[in-house]
Structure 1
Amino acid sequence: MSKRRIKKIAVIGSGIMGSGIACHFANIGVDVLLLDIVPRELNATEEAKKLTLQDKVVRNRIVNESLTAALKSKPSPIYHQKFANRITTGNLEDDIAKVKDVDWIIEVVVERLDIKKQVFENLEKHRTPGTLITSNTSGIPIHFMSEGRSDDFQKHFCGTHFFNPARYLKLFEIIPGPKTDPEVLDFLNDYGAKFLGKTSVIAKDTPAFIGNRIGIFGIQSLFHQVKELGLTIEEVDKLTGPVIGRPKSATFRTVDVVGLDTLVHVANGIYDNCPNDEAHELFKLPDFINTMMENKWLGSKTGQGFYKKVKGDNGKSEIQSLDLDTLEYRPKKSAKFATLELTKTVDKVVDRFPILVSGKDKAGDFYRKNFSAMFAYVSNRIPEITDELYKIDDAMKAGFGWEHGPFQIWDAIGVEKGIEMMKAEGFEPATWVNDMLASGNKSFYSVKEGASYYYDIPKQSTVKIPGQDAFIILDNIRKTNEVFKNSGVVIEDLGDGILNCEFQSKMNTIGGDVLAGLNKAIDLAEKDFAGLVIGNQAANFSVGANIGMIFMMAAEQEYDELNAAIKYFQDTMMRMRYSAIPTISAPHGMALGGGCELSLHADKVVAAAETYMGLVEFGVGVIPGGGGSKEMALRASDTFKKGDVQLNTLQEYFLTIGMAKVSTSAYEAFDMGVLQHGKDVVVVNKDRQIAVAKQHAKIMADMGYTQPVKRTDVKVLGKQALGMFLVGTDSMEDSNYISEHDMKIANKLAYVMAGGDLSEPTLVSEQYLLDLEREAFLSLCTERKTLERIQHMLKTGKPLRN
């Protein structure tokens, strides 16, 4: 079998989706040709410049404007702005012949079959046989699109449905056409996971495929229930958000973001094309949706949808919400339910479901109705949309950001208990569910020897979910491979002589227990193992030190204890750096403050592409105190080149801390000096991160790891640097860029990074800098304004400028 490689792709259509897909391929290092149509008339600017329709700048206007808008949008579709250089733009008349040189053509034009067929006809004239060609349709049946095309075209053609935004949503649905070569499906399935960092799911060619069929059912079902149960839109969003492991935008806010018209388009498609669906009538739009469509209340893009931002009398903007009975906007109401209060102390979302469905209030009624309808619907979609139940769960998790798929939720409630609940609500599961229970299988999923298994319906037995060999799932191995546990960490044996230290604190904050666990992990690894990974699979790697603990000690003026706590943090970081075994940090999501400092002190960082790293201590009125300030001074010293202006280099590292910069991707963290070229690596698929980190630890150990020698050669610039920093902070305070307290913090940092007020540049040890750092941190903890900042952050989660 020939080894397919994707070096260059063509994306046809540069709208939000097309530009997003182009950017994501550029993210992973692929060259992209992005093409769109030629404008039919000049715009005002072009007329003023006396351009004609033949000028290249006019002919490429649509594609260039679309890409520019995408690159400016937030959140950014690209890991690093310089990656945009990998995208070449053009138009479908002058540049279509260039598709002969690409390895894969992705069509992302408007959702109209006639237009798509015309585009494919033109592409086929220039496409090289054997080139992959796929459509990013979200609903048009794949078999209609390839009609009338050559055999080679049909063999290499299928649907590849990315979800918007392509960089952030992980679902990648692959939909075969009637003649798609199985080798093409296998290749795309593997490529999606390995290179694009996606959850690849091979779906059947049914309307809306898997994700949207189930997702739109869920939303439509809520549209109908909201009136029936007398709930407000705020109440539904409260019930369908983080409490059940769904995004903060929950239901109605999500519809506003995606656009009501997009949702209506898919719902109508399902209504028209699935006449035999038992929930057919549910896809009919309720009256209030039709009114909203007529009024063009489509959500964020039209300025109002279920929510609307208005300026209040005091000039402050406030969010109002739509009253579904009167269809008028009113001030937002807060939503409270007794059932939700019962789950406040339950950290794991999966443990909340049994509590939620036994609630005695409106919330309990809502969950029983909602889950019953969902369970019945998904059980009836097999084998229509897929033969394997895990694919439905994968699609909902990766495409809609659910923490648990419908079958996992059903398992959490209990399959038999779920059926009782469904019957009480007037629903029946598909017969295969009863057959499964009769065959002695009491759940949809099980874990054996660290691997996940699912119930295979035709075989009537459990089968291992494919593709897991590239992953290490900590949830699956935690119980069997646990080596040590305290309230802050679990240490697991990953096999091959490598340990993993997994944080288990709230938001993975770093307090005494976590540090004790980390030290224990190093002890164990040095004694009986070959290497150590510090990694977890929570939403965020770590949001930093436990500032609640720092606040308590500072407020009670327990400065000796506080000094000891900071020293313990510093010593642990240094222990990681100077241990006898390789230490690998595996950050993802937020890696802030102490979470960033930990990564700075590992031998190697294996970061997920979606890692938001930075030293953000200024926001709570202190400087990095876990070795971060010392480390930035050391890294500046290591980059001093002969003849360069060393002060400028130092200033860049100083500003990284002083401006509390946070990278918007792992690639940006290299620019900040937080990650280092040639040493640290980036993994696009977060699911593979722990496995990759383990491989790196093993390679370093196998190559003969030698314990590093403590550094005593850090060049600090003393008075010369300190003077420059103090002049800078003084003028910034004068011009009201920073507050007096900001200046005080910045001056303390300046003192540490300059190595104090030494009269000339000097070589010092790391310990010398750590002592200066700790002293500065402690002195800032005695300041009232610092305590106000910490308290404000603890209360609101937002920094205070005082």
Structure 2
Amino acid sequence: MRHETLDKRRITKVAVLGSGVMGSRIACHFANIGVEVLLLDIVPRELTPQEEAKGLTLESKSVRNRIVNQSLEAAVKTNPSPVFSKHTLRLITTGNFEDDMAAIESADWVIEVVVERLDIKKQVFDQVEQHRKAGTLVTSNTSGIPIHLMAAGRSDDFKAHFCGTHFFNPPRYLRLLEIIPTPDTKPEVVDFLLHYGDKFLGKTTVLCKDTPAFIGNRVGVYSMLALTHLVDQLGLTVEEVDKFTGPAMGHPKSATFRTADVVGLDTLVNVANGLAENAKDDEAAGVFQLPSYIRQMVDKKWLGEKSGQGFYKKIKDDKGNSEILALDLNTLEYRKQEKVKSATLEATKPVEDIRRRMKVYEEGTDKAGAFFRAMHYPLFEYVSRRVPEITDEFFRIDDAMRAGFGWELGPFEVWDALGVKETLDKIKAEEKRIPGYSGEVADWVREMLDAGNDSFYRVENGIRHYYDIRSKSYKPIPGAEAFIILSNIHGQKTVWKNSGITVTDLGDGILNAEFHTKMNTIGGDVIQGLHKAIDVAETDFRGLVIANDGANFSAGANIGMIFMMAVEQDYDELNMAVKTFQNTSMRLRYSSIPVVAAPFALTLGGGCEFSMHADFVQLHAETYMGLVEFGVGVIPGGGGSKEFALRASDEMKEGQIEQQVLRDRFLTIGQAKVSTSAVEAFELGYLQAGKYAVSMNRSRLLADAKAKAIELAEAGYTQPVPRTDIKVLGKQGLGIVYVGANSMRSGNYISEHDQKISEKLGWVLCGGDLSSPTEVSEQYLLDLEREAFLSLCGERKTLERIQHMLTTGKPLRN
């Protein structure tokens, strides 16, 4: 990349042309990162009855902007939301093509997201040419129209700054952003978009050739449709396919047919038809010819969730309970779902490592194992033959499948896990059930093996390399130096480890503490490891990061351990466990070296408390943080209740109304509020101004956290002193808490046990029944917190809540 060029271009305003499902959500995501957005769409041609009733005309501004405003409003109402916070919307200005197109003159980037018709796109670009300033980026979000056709006939400056930027839907959550240049696109423009998408938009940016469906949909739709051709031959049901292609295979829970229902069968069919029309030279083109049952479903308008039924149908039974039926693909009639049983799937369950799990899956002797082989062997052949057609570097196919389709491993990574050489004979011998499947992989794969290179990837000095076909050697994956992948440095950089934590030397005097328990829950082994990490860091290093490569940062404390001690009424042991947890939180804050937490995804309970006590929180934009202990019948007991009292005290000193501050803090814990983004985590009080920063790209999170630890160390980090000046309201605050809890109970908004927990929480936040507002120490509040936690653990209804959570994974309100 030409980084010296990247630094010269700044994106402060983006114009998004087209406010449909994709356009409105792309606009929201740019607003998420603080960019000003102009969102435009067409002018309506007729009034609605409501507009006529109001006496409006086609010249009224509200009418002329009706389409764009309704589209944006509909997008914001969707769940999950396309915005980090409702405050994000202030950055979006709406308008229409006729009145406001001239305003794109001030935009640094114009993104076209109108209907998928070349003639309409060209009309829009005619207008763009009239108003854009020279050098402005112009991109199209098309998912299928050749990019070079859209650039034809445009000015030289337009063509030099034009390319495709294919966001996957929903743009906030799906990480794939395909960059598709034309022969006229300036190389530095391509470099800029790859870098900007990665660092600022948080995407996995994938450079694509201008070929049908680019990379993600070309391979993803092939894979999905290839499965549909296996259904009859292997006698598979809808439920079996979704069970086999779900998390056990490293794919999302929605798997195959449920994903098709969510996306919409019409969308899948449109992409398939486009591939059938435009990829006629593809040796597997027959895959894109839809099976009869899919054609019949489309004819019947069974398109999935948008039409109320697809491969699944939600109904109400005789008792009014919801039930989801599955489609019988032979009769096209809906029936009750059948339980899927498989010895192969059972064998994969205890295998945490996804690569080892793939090997177990492949060796299965039942229908699931046969399906795995029948699916993957043709896929390996297919992707090998797409190089160099759709990309010159095969790793981009893996990137696209992970980021766009949620696979844990891309096809070449799965192939590596199974053994490239060991699989060749199996590929050749597999029954040819899928159109175009010959059993012969591309020549470059055999050439790689013949040269003594037995894998597509290898790790050298902590950096991942890929086999480069042109040079016949291994090269670092571009941009990999910006990422720190813990699995790449395990062993050679491990300083200490036990069953729950690994302490790794990240270099430059910084250690990392990585949890690796189930769901990264926090038990005695993790706590022991954190204390050890701080001991080592204080002696031989200059900073500590708490981060991991798992699916979630931490689901909180190991409540199974708490349940056992409470059931056995071993309160001395439980008291010691809670005190140790509290001491760990306090040690994170009051160690002699800076501690940076790097949370992402689920960061609940103890994971949230540890983050709140770190010197700095470097978190991913998609962090769902919260103190959720009310759901299991207790209050936060690892310093979280104390910390909210401390922060409330600081806010009171800033001139806030004391009772309102207390109420807000109380409700955040009492309602077990979990943030839907990093921004909302700040709004809920889990983060403090000046003590956190957001990484948009999850892959950059650890490197960003390490950089912050170095910065704090080099700034002359000084060990802080425990607080003794925390203002609590005593009886004055307790009155507010008790009255509020009693009124909520009287109105049946909360249960009797909820009321009891609320009063215990209020007792801690108010510092007990002190006669007047008083300044207290952190230790005073920690003792109150621990006492309240232990007393609630002695309640039968608390034990019922914990047991229910352990057995069902869901909270119980009793």
Equivalent-residue separation in structure 2 for 1:642 and 1:194 (angstroms): 35
TM-aligned CA deviation for residue 178 of structure 1: 2.4
Matched with 2:22 is: 17
Equivalent-residue separation in structure 2 for 1:755 and 1:99 (angstroms): 57
Matched with 1:686 is: 698
After TM superposition, the structure 1 stretch with the greater mean CA deviation from structure 2, 122-131 or 74-83, is 122-131
Any idea what SS the aligned residue of 1:433 has?
A: helix
TM-aligned CA deviation for residue 151 of structure 1: 1.0
Matched with 1:184 is: 189
Matched with 1:774 is: 786
Pick from 96, 105, 108 the counterpart of residue 103 of structure 1: 108
Equivalent-residue separation in structure 2 for 1:796 and 1:248 (angstroms): 17
1:43 aligns with 2:55: no
Equivalent-residue separation in structure 2 for 1:748 and 1:236 (angstroms): 49
1:358 aligns with 2:370: no
Any idea what SS the aligned residue of 2:98 has?
A: coil
Any idea what SS the aligned residue of 2:59 has?
A: coil
1:113-262 mapped onto 2 (5 Å cutoff): 113-262=118-267
1:619-638 mapped onto 2 (5 Å cutoff): 619-638=631-650
Q: Deviations over 1:348-383 (max 9, x none)?
A: 222111111111111111001100011010000000
2:718 is aligned with what amino acid?
T
Q: Deviations over 1:431-454 (max 9, x none)?
A: 111111000000000000000010
Q: Deviations over 1:319-375 (max 9, x none)?
A: 111110000111111211110111111112221111111111111110011000110
Equivalent-residue separation in structure 1 for 2:183 and 2:291 (angstroms): 36
Q: Percent identity?
A: 65
Q: Deviations over 1:466-512 (max 9, x none)?
A: 10121111111122111001000011111110000000100000000
Matched with 1:264 is: 269
Equivalent-residue separation in structure 2 for 1:123 and 1:674 (angstroms): 44
1:173 is aligned with what amino acid?
E
Equivalent-residue separation in structure 2 for 1:553 and 1:111 (angstroms): 61
Matched with 2:666 is: 654
TM-aligned CA deviation for residue 4 of structure 1: 0.9
Matched with 2:402 is: 397
TM-aligned CA deviation for residue 643 of structure 1: 5.8
Pick from 730, 743, 754 the counterpart of residue 718 of structure 1: 730
TM-aligned CA deviation for residue 642 of structure 1: 6.6
1:393 is aligned with what amino acid?
D
Q: Deviations over 1:573-599 (max 9, x none)?
A: 111111000000100000000000001
Q: Deviations over 1:757-783 (max 9, x none)?
A: 111111111011101111111111111
Equivalent-residue separation in structure 1 for 2:728 and 2:36 (angstroms): 43
Any idea what SS the aligned residue of 1:612 has?
A: strand
After TM superposition, the structure 1 stretch with the greater mean CA deviation from structure 2, 56-65 or 241-250, is 241-250
1:529 is aligned with what amino acid?
F
1:411-560 mapped onto 2 (5 Å cutoff): 411-425=416-430, 426=432, 427-560=439-572
Equivalent-residue separation in structure 2 for 1:72 and 1:374 (angstroms): 38
Matched with 1:696 is: 708
Equivalent-residue separation in structure 1 for 2:366 and 2:592 (angstroms): 57
- Relative distance call for 1:688 and 1:220 in structure 2 (3 A) is same
Pick from 286, 289, 293 the counterpart of residue 284 of structure 1: 289
Equivalent-residue separation in structure 2 for 1:452 and 1:46 (angstroms): 59
Equivalent-residue separation in structure 1 for 2:43 and 2:288 (angstroms): 37
Q: Give the structure-1-normalised TM-score.
A: 0.99
Pick from 77, 87, 90 the counterpart of residue 85 of structure 1: 90
1:302 is aligned with what amino acid?
S
TM-aligned CA deviation for residue 272 of structure 1: 0.6
CA RMSD, Structure 1 to Structure 2 (Å): 0.9
Matched with 1:610 is: 622
TM-aligned CA deviation for residue 177 of structure 1: 1.2
Unpaired runs of at least 5, structure 2: 433-438
After TM superposition, the structure 1 stretch with the greater mean CA deviation from structure 2, 92-101 or 342-351, is 342-351
Any idea what SS the aligned residue of 1:225 has?
A: helix
- Relative distance call for 1:452 and 1:643 in structure 2 (3 A) is closer
1:674 aligns with 2:686: yes
TM-aligned CA deviation for residue 117 of structure 1: 1.1
Equivalent-residue separation in structure 1 for 2:696 and 2:519 (angstroms): 23
Equivalent-residue separation in structure 1 for 2:521 and 2:232 (angstroms): 41
Any idea what SS the aligned residue of 1:738 has?
A: coil
Any idea what SS the aligned residue of 2:563 has?
A: helix
Matched with 1:749 is: 761
Matched with 1:596 is: 608
- Relative distance call for 1:129 and 1:773 in structure 2 (3 A) is same
Count of aligned residue pairs for this structure pair: 802
Q: Deviations over 1:203-237 (max 9, x none)?
A: 00000000000000000001111121111111110
Equivalent-residue separation in structure 1 for 2:29 and 2:657 (angstroms): 37
2:330 is aligned with what amino acid?
D
Pick from 68, 72, 81 the counterpart of residue 76 of structure 1: 81
Matched with 1:331 is: 336
1:555-566 mapped onto 2 (5 Å cutoff): 555-566=567-578
Any idea what SS the aligned residue of 2:69 has?
A: helix
Q: Give the structure-2-normalised TM-score.
A: 0.98
TM-aligned CA deviation for residue 645 of structure 1: 2.7
2:631 is aligned with what amino acid?
G
Equivalent-residue separation in structure 2 for 1:105 and 1:361 (angstroms): 53
Q: Deviations over 1:18-75 (max 9, x none)?
A: 0110000000111000000000111111011121111110000000000011111110
1:5 is aligned with what amino acid?
R
Any idea what SS the aligned residue of 1:352 has?
A: helix
Pick from 378, 381, 389 the counterpart of residue 384 of structure 1: 389
Equivalent-residue separation in structure 2 for 1:106 and 1:43 (angstroms): 29
Equivalent-residue separation in structure 2 for 1:148 and 1:512 (angstroms): 67
TM-aligned CA deviation for residue 459 of structure 1: 1.2
Equivalent-residue separation in structure 2 for 1:644 and 1:757 (angstroms): 22
TM-aligned CA deviation for residue 641 of structure 1: 3.3
Equivalent-residue separation in structure 2 for 1:788 and 1:370 (angstroms): 44
Any idea what SS the aligned residue of 1:689 has?
A: helix
Matched with 1:586 is: 598
Equivalent-residue separation in structure 1 for 2:565 and 2:231 (angstroms): 48
1:409 aligns with 2:421: no
Equivalent-residue separation in structure 1 for 2:505 and 2:788 (angstroms): 39
Any idea what SS the aligned residue of 2:474 has?
A: strand
After TM superposition, the structure 1 stretch with the greater mean CA deviation from structure 2, 416-425 or 237-246, is 416-425
Matched with 2:436 is: none
TM-aligned CA deviation for residue 121 of structure 1: 1.2
